[in-house]
Chain A
Amino acid sequence: MKIWLKVLLPVAAIALAACNKSGTVADSGSSTVANAPGSDAATTGSSGSTPITGSPLDSATQRALQTLVIYFDFDQAEIKPEFTAVVQAHGQRLAGNASLQVRLEGHTDERGSREYNIGLGERRAQSVRRALMLNGANASQITTVSYGEERPVATGSDEESWRLNRRVEIVYR
């Protein structure tokens, strides 16, 4: 499912970029090329009356949309600055397509009691949910679930494993 999404999202990002700008044509060949801002090309269309404008694909947005895991500091549910662009991109994507649904799965590292960690995972999922809604997503597009410490991705009892487990996963349905 996740590999499939990695292929799907860049394509979707291209389509989305194309839809948002009326009258322009997206050049799929430029999806990986980062052009300098302000270098939009303008040419005259075949009818000679309406200029065709193009702009480079926003690779930052694309990267943000490809990011499906948000990480958290110990005992925190606050979204760190480095993930602001991520929630923004997903929120706007949801805003632009009412048929899209996401499930936010909250997780914690293994330390402390399991049921409290269910609460902490839910708090993290809710934090991402609120951020998505602030960026335009509708409440009806989002469900949350907390697994607490029950579904770790890393099984060591060290800082790095713990860091990888403190996360919310964004799952498009």
Chain B
Amino acid sequence: MRRAERSVTFESASRRGGALVRRGLLALLAVAFAGAASAQLNVVITRGIARPVPIAVVPLGWSGGAAPAYDIAGVVSADLKSSGRFAPLAPADMVSRPTQPAQVNFTDWRLLKVDYVVIGTLRETQPDQFETVFQLFDVLKGEQVLGYRFMSARVDLRPTAHKVADMIFQKLVGIPGVFSTQIAYVSEEKRPDGKSRFRLIVSDADGENAKIIADSPQPLLSPSWSPDGRRLAYASFEGDQEAVFVQTLRTGTRERVSARRGVNSSPSFSPDGRLLALTLSGDQGNLDIFTLDVATQVLRQLTTDAGIDTEAVWSPDSRTIYFNSDRSGGPQIYKVAAEPGGRAQRVTFEGVYNARPRVSPDGKQIAIVYGANNIYRIGIVDAASGNLQILTNGRLDESPSFAPNGAQIIYATKDNGRGVLASVTTDGKIQQEIASVAGDVREPVWGPYPLP
């Protein structure tokens, strides 16, 4: 894998709270970490809020000799900045570097126009036992608002930094952070001989620690996380026939759960992780929604309509399945009871192309692909009222997936012909582009909160 070199370049414009607007192409806005794994994805803010919160994350005090065991503050800064809601101060602009609360001079920080300061220490208390301590201060009020202490092994220092960022985010924004989560996505690398290599990749939400889960000369698509984050279901064309697999991430072992005649596609785990909603067509080519018990292989049919019924997903309470059907002429979102025998009800009535539904964690919103006049964009439909809100500009946006805090949607799009990922906050205000170091990337799915 190629190693992408990342270096700190915080624009002074961001420090002054100006909106970061960078169109289209990859900018080299990245962060250097001690001992970082090769980064496969680069994040660029393409639309930000008018005044991201100015915050100073002071490099942690380190008493262990030469270089710190890890650049905790660097990871925290990068996480907060990547959310689009914060404008971290460059360390070079910090007048002082307090590591203890008594050393914090609020007057100095007010002069630098930061609203919050984060300080702390990192100590190796025993061989491979590290203590991370941090405090968060409200500069205007001149008081500490958060303090915490973590113990971890060296290999867990980066995850610890993400937890610190999550806690600061939750304290200041009011919703949980998702810096400790993972994403899965498909990458396609086109070789010089014209053939492609397809990979299913799992990485941290910031693109680090990318691991290849599956690698094939044939297309892979539709990854779906099990609710506990331990397994991925996906469709694969290996062996020249489409089949659905369920793979356990920790061991790499996998099971081929459906290779029936015809289409086997669009797998989606139920909230209890026992069932997969699935699209099967049989010999006659009529795509319908089924549920499959992964352990017992019991199959139940939920739709029988002659149209294309596909892209099924579960509501968080397990009772409803949302799916895409073109039974009324073009793709629209429908819902049906998760038990067989129910009648499907149409959910979307605006526009001629509503596809690829994904349900928000609270069950109240459905992210969709909305197509009109050759432009495909991500929208949100209110599950109760059916009201539609378009979030993105298109032209070829697809595959939306909610973050587990429901505040962000990751999706796929094209930039100058390259497949890239992007994300947008559910209020539409903050947009990011996430491009791969090499190859096209697509079909992102946001993983669950890590198990405690």
Interface residue A113 (Cβ < 8 Å from any Cβ of B): yes
Q: Across the interface, do A122 and B353 meet the contact criterion of CB distance under 8 Å? A: no
Instruction: Give Cα A118–Cα B308 distance, bound, in whole angstroms.
Output: 9
Instruction: Give Cα A60–Cα B5 distance, bound, in whole angstroms.
Output: 60
Q: Mark B401-416, 1 if CB is under 8 A from A, else 0.
A: 0000000000000100
Q: Across the interface, do B285 and A115 meet the contact criterion of CB distance under 8 Å? A: no
Known: A113-B369, A145-B242, A146-B263. A126 touches B285 (CB 8 A): yes
- Please classify how large the interface on chain A is, using the bins under 10, 10 to 19, 20 to 34, 35 or more: 20 to 34
Residues of B within 8 A of A129 (CB): 285
Q: Across the interface, do B396 and A157 meet the contact criterion of CB distance under 8 Å? A: yes
Q: Across the interface, do A116 and B310 meet the contact criterion of CB distance under 8 Å? A: yes
Interface residue A132 (Cβ < 8 Å from any Cβ of B): no
CB distance from B381 to the nearest CB of A (A): 15
Please report the number of residue pairs spanning A and B whose Cβ atoms sit closer than 8 angstroms.
90
Interface residue B222 (Cβ < 8 Å from any Cβ of A): yes
Q: Across the interface, do A119 and B237 meet the contact criterion of CB distance under 8 Å? A: no
- Please classify how large the interface on chain B is, using the bins under 10, 10 to 19, 20 to 34, 35 or more: 35 or more
Partner of A116 from the list B262, B285, B355 (CB cut-off 8 Å) is B355
Instruction: Give Cα A145–Cα B236 distance, bound, in whole angstroms.
Output: 13
- Chain A residue at minimal CB-CB distance from B356: A113
Interface residue B134 (Cβ < 8 Å from any Cβ of A): no
Q: Across the interface, do A123 and B371 meet the contact criterion of CB distance under 8 Å? A: no
Q: Across the interface, do A112 and B369 meet the contact criterion of CB distance under 8 Å? A: yes
Known: A116-B308, A144-B262. A150 touches B376 (CB 8 A): no
Residues of B within 8 A of A144 (CB): 262, 285
Q: Across the interface, do A116 and B221 meet the contact criterion of CB distance under 8 Å? A: no
CB-based closest 4 A-B pairs: A119-B308, A126-B285, A150-B219, A113-B356
Instruction: Give Cα A155–Cα B417 distance, bound, in whole angstroms.
Output: 8
Interface residue A17 (Cβ < 8 Å from any Cβ of B): no
Residues of B within 8 A of A150 (CB): 219, 221, 237
Instruction: Give Cα A118–Cα B310 distance, bound, in whole angstroms.
Output: 9
Residues of B within 8 A of A126 (CB): 284-285
Q: List 30 A-B contacts (CB under 8 A).
A: A75-B330, A110-B396, A112-B353, A114-B398, A114-B443, A115-B221, A115-B222, A115-B266, A115-B310, A115-B311, A116-B308, A116-B310, A116-B356, A118-B266, A118-B310, A119-B279, A119-B287, A119-B308, A120-B308, A122-B263, A122-B285, A125-B285, A126-B284, A126-B285, A145-B241, A146-B263, A147-B219, A151-B219, A157-B396, A157-B414
